[in-house]
Each structure stands twice: as structure tokens, then as C-alpha cells.
Amino acid sequence: MMEEVRKRLKEAKKVVVLTGAGISQESGIPTFRGRDGLWKNYKPEELATPEAFRRNPQLVWEWYNWRREIIRKAEPNPAHLALVELEKRYPFFYLITQNVDGLHQRAGNKNVLELHGNIWRNFCFECGKEYRGEITPQVPRCECGGYIRPGVVWFGEPLPADVLRKAWEVSAQAEVFLVIGTSGVVQPAASLPLVAKEHGAWVVEINPQETALTPWVDASLRGTACQLLPEIVKGG
């Protein structure tokens, strides 16, 4: 299977990648659904919502402080670096990510589409004014008086329309589409591999476990991103 992936990649000119929390797991950043995803016994689904922030902005803020600390100390891993290498080979390459940690850009990827925002950005919950995503003990207030929130997309919120449109458009053009470290249950991101497939792409999943996308993909490689991606990219 590994050989087939390498062969397909060699023949392709247009490659699109979709990454999820799994690719940053080996950088020490917990996924939402993994064993280490809990914080003070809260599930991420209970904190990453506009309702949770409205109910208790300070609690949600402290959870993001904890996540920002982890992300600040984390480094891009060999899987992130393999994707930088891959980008250099193609005239058409897009890296669509659901991650908010910015590690793909720190690793050196250029064409990154952030579907769910970035944890190092903030904006006002009331007026939308943008701020830098800093770690402060208290949830800060905007000059309008509103609370400032992390610049990430929460459950139940729409994705940035221009980014989603672009992601959809490039997915439809992909010849090879890699899905890495995503459970395939968060929409609309999980639809992008299917859009690619409908338009003729060869879709391969890289994940240690079966996912909601497994029945639909052309190939599944079972292993971690750091075990498999450097191997896939090795030797051109």
C-alpha cells in the first residue's frame, strides 16, 4: 500500500492534504477525542462553544490559556516537516488544516488554509475587533466593553466563508488527496475528501485507527503521522 501511495504521488501534479488534530499529537498537543483531551474533567465539546463562553467566559478563557501554553512549547514534528518537503514538489499544492496551532506554518508550509482559525488570534465576542491571541490570567475586554474570545471556530459556528470556498475549490481539483489525523466527524471539513473523490482524486487516509472516512477512501495506511509521512516522502 505504501508503494502505491508513493507511486500515485510521483505521478500527480495536483496534491491536496487535509490535516486534523492527529498530526500534532506527536508534538504533544492533545486531540479532542483522545485520552488526554480532557481538562479539569471537561470535554472539549462542553467548552468550545459560544454557549459555554457566554455562560462562563473566564472558564473557557482558562482552558485556552492551558492549550496555548502547550502549543507555545510544542515544535513541528517529522510529519509536519514531511509536508513541507511535499509542498516543494508540486506546482499545485494546498494544505487544508482543521488545526488552530499554527504548526504547519511554523514548519514552513506556504499554501495553508486554516478552516478553524488560529489560537494566536483573538477577536471581540461583541463587535468582532481583532486582537493578538495572548495569554492573560483574566479574560480581556474590548474597548467596546465586550469580552475578547479566541479566534477559533467553535462547535456550531460557521467556518470562514472565503477559506471554506477555496478549500472546496482546490479539493475538487486534486489528483491525490491525503487525509491525515482526522476523525472525519467534524463537518464540513470531513466532506472535503469526498468532494475530491467525486471529482476523480485518489484519496488516502493516514491514521492509526479506523475513521468515519475509512469506508470511502481508496487506501488506508494504519500508523501514526510521524511513522508514515517521512517514509512516504522519502527519496522523492
Tell me, residue by residue from 94 to 133, as one string, x for binding to ligand NAD by CB under 6 A and - for no binding.
Answer: ----xxxx--------------x-----------------
Closer to ligand NAD by Cβ: residue 24 or 171: 24
Q: Is residue 171 a contact point for ligand NAD (CB under 6 A)?
A: no
By a kind-dependent CB cut-off of 5 to 8 A, residue 144 interacts, out of ligand NAD, Zn ion, none, with Zn ion
Q: Is residue 46 a contact point for ligand NAD (CB under 6 A)?
A: no
What is the per-residue burial (b if ≥16 Cβ within 10 Å, else e) of 13-38?
A: ebbbbbbbbbbbbbbebbbeeeeeee
Active-site residue 80, yes or no? no
- Locate all alpha helices (DSSP H) within the chain, ordered by sequence: 2-11, 22-25, 44-47, 50-55, 57-73, 78-89, 103-107, 161-173, 192-198, 225-233
Which pairing describes strands 202-206 and 219-221: parallel, antiparallel, or unpaired? parallel
Q: Is residue 130 a contact point for Zn ion (CB under 5 A)?
A: no
By a kind-dependent CB cut-off of 5 to 8 A, residue 127 interacts, out of Zn ion, ligand NAD, none, with Zn ion
Q: What is the dihedral of CA 138, 141, 147, 150, to 10 degrees?
A: -70
Closer to ligand NAD by Cβ: residue 83 or 225: 225
Q: Which of 1, 2, 127, 212 binds Zn ion (CB under 5 A)?
A: 127
By a kind-dependent CB cut-off of 5 to 8 A, residue 124 interacts, out of ligand NAD, Zn ion, none, with Zn ion
115 and 167 Cβ atoms separated by less than 8 Å: yes
Q: What is the DSSP string of 33-98?
A: SSGGG-BTTB-HHHHSSHHHHHH-HHHHHHHHHHHHHHHHH----HHHHHHHHHHHH-SEEEEEE-
Size of the site for Zn ion (CB under 5 A): 7
Q: Which of 109, 122, 183, 220 binds ligand NAD (CB under 6 A)?
A: 183
Q: Which of 133, 150, 181, 193 binds ligand NAD (CB under 6 A)?
A: 181
Distance of CA 141 to the CA centre of its chain: 28
Looking at beta carbons, which residue is closest to ligand NAD? 22
Q: Is residue 208 a contact point for Zn ion (CB under 5 A)?
A: no
Q: Is residue 22 a contact point for ligand NAD (CB under 6 A)?
A: yes
Query: Number of C-alpha atoms within 13 angstroms, CB side, residue 39?
Result: 19
Instruction: Give the residues lining the site for Zn ion (CB under 5 A).
Output: 124, 126-127, 129, 142, 144, 146
The residues annotated with a catalytic role in the active site are 116
